[in-house]
Amino acid sequence: MSDQRPRPQYGEYASVDEQIAAGGIPVEAGPVVSPSPSYSPVSDQGLVAPDPATRVAGASPAPKQWDFALSVTLLIFGAYTVGSSFAGLLDFSAVLREVYAQAGYGEYTSDGLADSIGIAILVSQSVLYLATLVLTVLRIRAKRVAFFVPLVGGAVAGILMLALVLVAMTADPALAAWVTSQS
């Protein structure tokens, strides 16, 4: 019986040792390393998981479970924060009137500006959250570290909210009157 395969070119069917020997380099018998019998991680499909020591250079690393858990936890916290602020931001002038009354600044009078800034904060937080969600999911799917994306998104949202609240407060004449009365 003859071999029906086409004639091999450039060592296609040769083993690595045969290829080395054909190149004129002597093959030395080295120690045979076999995995320890105590280590045989099994994946969900019943297949043996690859040994981390044999990872191919340049291949993406395995996803880290702590990164996934932390990223999802931060995204849930962000969703809760954005969702729970809806009511207060839709009537932001009432919130500022209450803050001024409790702090003793006088009566807040720039209701139109406060309501506009409340809507701006609401829209900016929602857009930032959606962008953070999309970027985090893309990084998780690419098996890249993603936990910092919700952290950066939350920090940017917080800084933007603080700046807009300061604009709403400093534009009111009651705060300016209180500051001059204190000096």
Q: Give per-residue pLDDT as tens, 29-77.
A: 656 555 555 555 555 555 555 555 555 555 555 558 899 999 999 999 9
Does residue 150 form part of some domain? yes
Task: Calculate the alpha carbon distances from 84 to 43, 79, 102, 122, 126 in Å.
Answer: 40, 8, 22, 11, 12
Residue 179 confidence (pLDDT): 87
Does residue 123 form part of some domain? yes
Domain extent, residue 82, equals 65-182
Does residue 141 form part of some domain? yes
Does residue 85 form part of some domain? yes
Count structural domains, the chain: 1
Of the pLDDT bands very low, low, confident and very high (cuts 50, 70, 90), residue 163 is very high
Q: Hey, what's the torsion of the CAs at 41, 47, 51, 55, to 10 degrees?
A: -150
Does residue 114 form part of some domain? yes
More confident residue, 53 or 111: 111
Does residue 47 form part of some domain? no
Does residue 15 form part of some domain? no
Residue 46 confidence (pLDDT): 52
What pTM did the predictor assign?
Answer: 0.63
